[in-house]
Amino acid sequence: MFEKPEVLTIASSLAAHAAARQSAIARNVANADTPGYRAQDLPDFAELYRARDAVPLRTTRAGHIAESDRTTSSSPSDRAGPGSRSPNGNSVSLETEMVKAADVKREHDLALAVYGKSLAILRASLGRR
């Protein structure tokens, strides 16, 4: 029960998702002038988290029914965003990418804050500061 609190798992997953999404945004910016390049993005963390919890069964012992495979992926996919393509077929908008980068930074900062405060609460409950 106390091996790894769920809040730490969620915060760690949010930080990892933010890092993966920032990587996709960086690839988009790097290919902003590449002819025919299509911008990519990851689904929101909330969508992935809801899809993860969509299966009500959890395996607690080796003999229990295994969790089924999920089709929701956390890999980058083409984004059909607003706006038009440039004449060379590129769909990257630097303005959109910068807004997304700021949003990802906010998500990462949130994950680190939750993780840090959770550890502080655990230390305080153990009598350590």
A 10 A CB-CB count for 6 gives: 7
Does 100 fall in a domain?
A: yes
> Could you tell me the pTM of the whole model?
0.70
Does 56 fall in a domain?
A: yes
Both tokens of 50, joined, read 């809801």
**For residue range 30-60, what is the model confidence (pLDDT) as tens digits?**
999 899 899 999 988 888 777 765 555 566 6
Residue 78 or residue 72, greater confidence: 78
> Is the four-CA dihedral 92, 96, 98, 104 of positive or negative sign?
negative
Q: Into how many domains does the chain fold?
A: 1
> How far from 85 is each of 77, 88, 90, 94, 101, CA to CA, in Å?
17, 8, 6, 12, 21
**For residue range 92-102, what is the model confidence (pLDDT) as tens digits?**
999 999 999 99
In the structure, what pLDDT confidence band is assigned to residue 71 with cuts at 50, 70 and 90?
A: very low
Q: Which domain holds residue 79?
A: 6-31+38-125
Does 1 fall in a domain?
A: no
